[in-house]
Amino acid sequence: MHLPARSRTVLSTAIAAIATATLFAGPAAAGEKPPGVGCPDVPLVQPFAPWQDHADYMLAPDGDIEAGAGSWALTGGAAAVEGSEPFAIGAAGDHLSLALPAGSTATTAPMCIAEEHGTMRFLASGPASGTLVVYATFTKPDGSEKTFRLGDVQGSGTWAASDVLQMRVNEKADKFGGSLSVTLRFAPRGDAAWQIDGVYVDPYRSK
Q: What is the pLDDT of residues 40-65, one digit of tens each?
A: 999 999 999 999 999 999 999 999 99
Quote the pLDDT of residue 37. Answer: 55
Quote the pLDDT of residue 20. Answer: 38
Reduced to 3 states (helix: H, G, I; strand: E, B; else coil), residue 5 is helix
Quick check: 187 and 165 in contact, CB under 8 A? Answer: no
Number of Cβ atoms within 10 Å of the Cβ of 163: 12
Cα–Cα separations (whole angstroms), residue 23 to 28, 33, 152, 162: 12, 18, 46, 45
Distance CA 182, CA 138 (A): 4
Task: pLDDT band for 15, please (50, 70, 90 cuts).
Answer: very low
Tell me which of 191 and 20 has the higher pLDDT. 191
Poorest-pLDDT segment among 6-10, 21-25, 188-192: 21-25
Give the pTM: 0.82
Residues in the chain: 207
Quote the pLDDT of residue 205. Answer: 64
What is the domain partition of the chain in residue ranges? Answer: 1-32, 49-203
Tell me what percent of the residues of the chain surpass a pLDDT of 90: 77
Distance CA 203, CA 206 (A): 10
The b-or-e profile of 76-87 (16+ CB within 10 A means b, else e) is eebbbeeebbeb
Please state the CATH superfamily assignment of the domain spanning residues 49-203 in this structure.
Answer: Galactose-binding domain-like (2.60.120.260)
Quote the pLDDT of residue 158. Answer: 97
152-180: average pLDDT: 96
Number of Cβ atoms within 10 Å of the Cβ of 17: 10
**Ramachandran angles phi, psi of 5, nearest 5°:** -55, -40
pLDDT at 207 over 90: no
Quick check: 123 and 51 in contact, CB under 8 A? Answer: no
Distance CA 200, CA 84 (A): 15
State the chain's mean pLDDT as an integer. Answer: 86
Quote the pLDDT of residue 38. Answer: 83
Task: pLDDT band for 28, please (50, 70, 90 cuts).
Answer: very low
